[in-house]
Chains A and B, each alone.
Chain A
Amino acid sequence: MNFIPHTEEDISKMLTVVGCSTLDALVSEFKPRLSELKLDEPKNEMDLLSYMTKLSEKNSTMKYFAGGGSYDHYIPSIIGHLVLRGEFLTSYTPYQPEASQGVLQVLYEFQTFICMLTGMDVSNASLYDGASALAEAALLSSAHTKRKGVFVEEGLNPNYFKVLQTYCDGTELYITNSIDENTACVISQTPDFNGNIKNPRGLIEKAHQHKALFINCISDATSLVILKTPGEFGADIVVGEGQSFGIPKSFGGPYLGYIAVKEFLTKKLPGRIVGMTTDDKGNEGFVLTLQAREQFIRRERATSNITTNQTLLALTATIYLASLGKSGLQNVARASYHRAHTLQEKLKKVGFELVNTNPFYNEFLVKTPKPTEKIIADLMECNILGGIDVGDNKLLISCTEKNSLQDIDSYISTVST
């Protein structure tokens, strides 16, 4: 394909203006010149679509009972239509606010939604994904407390733990087993990786006694709709993955990290933040604000190196939250809860051992009566991804409103034969 509008005549006229005889001569100082490039022949649109479709068909898409950081919630049709509007899709970071009021207002609405869901004071305009949002929160805590210890309560998503470990190694923080005067932050996940919902109050008190910040990492973002907010419990920082809000699973990315803080941490936030202001005629409008925190101004003294965020996905989440509204979100969360509880009860009856010790939302852990690998393989035969094999014959299962009672029955009949 070719997305270059120039005619031969244009090129030759332009070369004359530039004072160069050929296109090749124009790049003569780029050295060393490569001799050959082993790529395929160019593809036209029809052949490209066929090639990529074939690749996509080598993947299996199933009925999902797996979560672990990516949840199969229903995506309302309206989202796809709005997100593809070229004015949103093909714009960039709103450096010129007068040409970007649309995206800026969307981000202001996103920040508001995140604050209302988490019960926090201030949200930024998004981060890469849940795992890096958690890592950024740990860095923020270290910058605020001037300490380097990161305490992680049991039950953090192991993928997030690994990313946190990578960031800690690279930035000279360390994971610690104790909460004391060297601890920058205490991290706790809700619901935890096994699905348990724990009351964090005691842990928050302990963190604050030692002047460490408390970071609450949220698992499925729809849980915020029915669970007491981290803000109300007293969390200082809330981070999580916003993929549940209308974003396709897409083999793990791009997703939507979010971070929200109590007011006293506002100026330490990483990434973009949108604020409301007025124009020269006194009309309300929006701009990127607190930019003095950011890398393109503060360079080595910036709060983070982050440049782009995930604006189009923040737009997606905003439209999702607006479209479902209060009652729609409550229905999604309730359905996810009820389906998971129904499946859990039925699994118990066919010999699965329940592992959760606390109340759970839409994700729970069971010990399988047969080897977990075998259970997963049997279910895959029936086009069901039955959960995540977490080892030790344990299976982590997740439900959403999309898992019908009929699907739950097929699940049970498959695993009980």
Chain B
Amino acid sequence: MKLIFNYNQSNTKHTPQEKDVDLPDDLKRKDLPLNDVNEVQIIRHYTRLSRKNYGIDTNFYPLGSCTMKYNPRINEDIARLPGFSNLHPFMPASHAQGALEVIWELEEILKEITGMDAFSLQPAAGSQSELLGVMIAKKYFTEKNENRPKIIIPDSAHGTNPATAAMCKFQTVTIPTDERGNMDINEFKKAIGKDVAVVMITNPNTLGLYEENLSEIKDIAKENGALMYCDGANMNALLGISKPADQGFDMIHLNLHKTFSTPHGGGGPGGGSLGVKSFLEDYLPVPRIKKENEKFIFESNNKKSVGKLHSFYGNFGIIVRALAYIKSWGTDIQMISQIAVLNANYLFCLLKDDFDVPYDRRCAHEFVISAKNLGDKSAVNIAKRITDYGFHAPTIYFPLIVKEALMIEPTETESKNTLDEYAKVLKTIIKEIHDEPELVKNAPHTTPGRLDEVKAARQLNLRWVPSES
């Protein structure tokens, strides 16, 4: 295993040489334990590492719940235009009108797509958007003098939902899922009351199913004075088809990097956003961006705001990419969701006779099947074996309520041919499980082999340490 720290070469000299600084001894660093590595070696080292990595550019990457669609390269060029990438965040608004317009324009478009009345693009990611939403709910009810310590969350929800509720000292009330894959309406009715602040729902939910009782849930939540929050992680199913505000939600967060196709970058940077109905607008973070007399301005003097959430104005580079992506689609945007739903249902139909199907309904943009009939640990074994065939695994063991879950989200950018091939590989693996079980249990047979996660957690090695020679 060659790490970048194992080289010691001559320096490439990217910047001029300088003499030492004159700082008092008690403040000055004595030793910097780093080496010099020449650029020739750097480029080989990281090119070699890139080849040990699998991306959408490599092949199909149907990681459920992550919306791994093709990332248009023009958006990378656009984000790197000097007027965007070389713009300092302390540039006065008068000289950053283009940047303010980008943010304002994307907010307007997201309002149109979701039906919400106002948006903030400050959150850096989906989970920070959720945090903002829950903080807003907390402040809203505190100001109304209502004691509502609970947040209702279905058991199929992403882990961030309860984690966020807990951060803000709310108590999570978990509602089980019924046999059709919906939040159990009877259990919901038992749990709802004047002590509930928020009903937090992902729609379509993490099983890839449209919440069939949403209208009734919304009515009951409103009767009880609770806010309806939509985790919009699955907005890729709804673009141009249905607006979450019309479904009865008061708040929604969108993950810009998922729905609007900014590269996931190995796990970020992403981009968050939070849309709200007008009665919650004043709680959004400052500064807000407003348009006045054809000029864009920052507005910071909002007393009701929960405050500031980001070092500056949000992940601007991601906002630029999302705007470019939406502008490229324009009025055709519903095609994205229609084909995403078609692809998911098509692949589901190709696979549903081979796997256990926990909820046999038409799915939205993703679906969950179970490998429980193929034996213990079969989901992880299948995931590892898929790698041998040059494909990426689906999300496994999520949602937690489905045993040996495989969660597959093809997205709209995959061709029929790719889906056919993926289904064929999965069927082959099932045959292997029956005929040659060891072959699957010991997968992958590529390099590296199956990595020992238990050892990693027990014998922590989280950094390289220079040897004492």
Contacts and interface: CB of A to CB of B under 8 A. Distances in A.
A70, A163, A327 — most chain B CB neighbours (10 Å)? A327
B306 A169 contact: yes
A3 B411 CA distance: 11
Interface in B78-101: 78-92, 95-99, 101
B15 A254 contact: no
Given A325-B34, A325-B37, A227 B318 contact: no
Interface stretch (B41-49, B191-199, B220-228): B41-49
B202 interface: no
Given A312-B265, A380-B95, A1 B329 contact: yes
Given A26-B342, A82-B46, A166-B285, A254 B267 contact: no
B317 A250 contact: yes
A39 B109 contact: yes
A106 B268 contact: no
B401 interface: no
Interface stretch (B274-282, B369-377, B428-436, B447-455): B447-455
9 contacts: A18-B346, A18-B362, A90-B57, A95-B393, A99-B53, A166-B308, A227-B29, A249-B85, A305-B167
Interface in B28-65: 28-30, 32-37, 39, 42-43, 45-47, 49-58, 61, 63
A199 B23 CA distance: 12
Contacts of A359: 23-24, 27
A268 B448 CA distance: 30
Interface in A237-289: 241, 248-255, 266, 272-281, 283-287, 289
A60 interface: yes
B417 to A, nearest CB: 8
Interface in A193-207: 197, 199
Interface stretch (A126-134, A346-354, A409-417): A126-134
Given A253-B124, A323-B12, A331-B16, 8 more contacts: A45-B328, A85-B46, A87-B50, A108-B464, A122-B462, A254-B271, A305-B130, A308-B125
Contacts of A253: 89, 124, 269, 310-318
A48 interface: yes
Interface in B378-403: 383-384, 387, 392-393, 395, 398
Nearest to A9: B416
A322 B4 contact: yes
A120 to B, nearest CB: 10
Interface string B179-193: 000000000000000
Interface in A25-39: 26-27, 29-34, 37-39
A76 B416 contact: no
B27 A199 contact: yes
Contact of B54 (A82, A100, A107, A380): A100
B11 A325 contact: yes
A165 B332 contact: no
A182 interface: no
A111 interface: yes
A323 B7 CA distance: 12
A26 B15 contact: no
Interface stretch (A208-216, A313-321, A363-371): A313-321
B425 interface: no
B455 A102 contact: no
Contacts, number: 649
Interface string A74-103: 101010111011111111111111111111
Contacts of A255: 311
Given A128-B128, A278-B451, A55 B98 contact: yes
B172 to A, nearest CB: 5
Interface residues of B, number: 197
Given A10-B416, A308-B270, A42 B328 contact: yes
A109 interface: yes
B134 interface: yes
Interface in A57-83: 57-62, 64, 66, 68-70, 72, 74, 76, 78, 80-82
Contacts of B212: 29
A103 B35 CA distance: 22
Contacts of A39: 109, 112, 326, 329-331, 333
A2 interface: yes
A299 B13 contact: no
A393 B459 CA distance: 56
Contacts of A18: 342, 345-346, 349, 362
Interface in B315-339: 315-318, 320, 323-324, 326-339
Contact of A273 (B450, B452, B462): B462
Contacts of A132: 124, 128, 309-311
Contact of A334 (B21, B87, B313): B21
B117 to A, nearest CB: 15
Given A30-B237, A166-B307, A254 B266 contact: no
A166 B3 CA distance: 40
A45 B337 CA distance: 21
Nearest to A402: B15
A132 B35 CA distance: 31
A287 B266 contact: no
Contacts of A325: 11-12, 34-37
